[in-house]
Amino acid sequence: MPFRVNQLYYIAPIENIRSIIEKGVLSHDAAQQVGHFTIYDKDVLAHRLSKLVGERSLSSYANLFFQPSNSMLFSLLKKFNPDDIIVVGVSPSILDHPAAMVTNGNAATSNTLFFPSSIRRKALKECEEALLVPSWSPEEKSRRMAECLYPDLVPPDQIRRLYVRSRESKQKVVHELDGTNFPEDNIVIEEEMFFESSRNRVLGAHLSVKSGDMFLSRMQTLTISVNCVGAMGRGQASTARHYFPDLHTKYRQLCIDGQLKLGKPYLYKQPTSRGLFDDYLTSEDEGWFLLFPTKNHFKDPASLEGIREGLNWVRDNYHCEGIKSLAVPALGCGLGWLKWRDVWPVIKDSLMGVNIPVEVYLPSQPFISDSEIL
């Protein structure tokens, strides 16, 4: 399966996060002007300060990674408290900036090549294998640190997600961002990104329950919880609206036309080539979405019976609709006010027998114990 450019990633200490959300992801030169705490190795930093990219210093670019789970993050987690490290997810649309650069490895390494982002496919093709593997060999170490270099600063409106290692870390971030407009729903616990054992309970031949960010799933079709009045203002739906404007437009039209109803999801098959996924590294059938109504009005509680009917529709129609694999959130939990203990049996009963891979993602809050995933 090809590597997806879901986002670009910046690694930072939590104590800088409020400034990052307010000012953007800064280059090293710009960060020095606002007094950011530096976590990078002094020798590595000195080398980057001395290196030129064309007529600019490497330190005048904000550096973001295509794969955050790399050797730099690994070393930082050994040096600092892992709960004090955060990974900032940035929209890949910054690659369209005419001055952005892409590397085929660690930008500070002598044999790394630099490419204009307009021909990024050449750079990424060279390091695709290293970006995909769960661990890396010494030969792949630099390639796994392939970077996007963005001049001066990445604007704050390009920041999409914040990834942390634990619930304790998330609470630290929530505290740091108190009074800002950054949505708490977009602060995601993603243990696997931080080299932790991610929760992944396999049930039956094809069904698994996972923790983490559903938008990082490799399933062909992502399920988006929605209401029937066209509002995507909060939660997972808000994330989908920002990442996929075409999906939002289609969703609103379905609601205006009265086509989206409880018990009958809508499968949006338009392949996604922009937004969350990079146009070069996606396959033809990636980017499908299942718009899944869980309530009529956004102010209503979610309907457990409506969720049951919708899941039964999926069970009865996935094959003829061409769904090859499916990611499903904890439907109706969170903003829908339903409890996992009530929703999970409905999901399991409907989807346990389907003959395609299905990933069900746990709610971020509250914590779900292993005994509740049976």
Catalytic residue IDs: 48, 147
- φ/ψ (deg, to 5) at 110: -65, -35
Q: List the Cα angle 17/184/198 in 5-degree steps.
A: 85
The pLDDT tens digits for 199-217 are: 788 898 899 998 888 887 8
Q: Quick check: 36 and 26 in contact, CB under 8 A?
A: yes
Residues 6+ apart with CB under 8 A from 22: 156, 180
The model's pTM is: 0.71
> What are the structural domains, with CATH classification, of the chain?
8-176 (3.20.170.30), 199-372 (3.40.220.10)
Position 245 scores a pLDDT of 84
CB-facing half-sphere around the CA of 77: CA atoms within 13 A: 20
pLDDT, tens digit, for every residue of 285-327?
457 999 999 999 999 999 999 999 999 999 999 999 999 999 9
As a whole number of angstroms, the distance between CA 26 and CA 19 comes to 10
> Between 49 and 12, whose confidence is greater?
12
Amino acid at 298: F
Q: How confident is the model at residue 47 (pLDDT cuts 50, 70, 90)?
A: low
Q: Is residue 88 over pLDDT 70?
A: yes
Query: Residues 316-368: pLDDT tens digits?
Result: 999 999 999 999 999 999 889 999 999 999 999 999 999 999 999 999 778 88
What pLDDT is stored for residue 1 in this prediction?
53
User: What is the number of other CB atoms lying within 10 angstroms of the CB of residue 279?
Assistant: 14
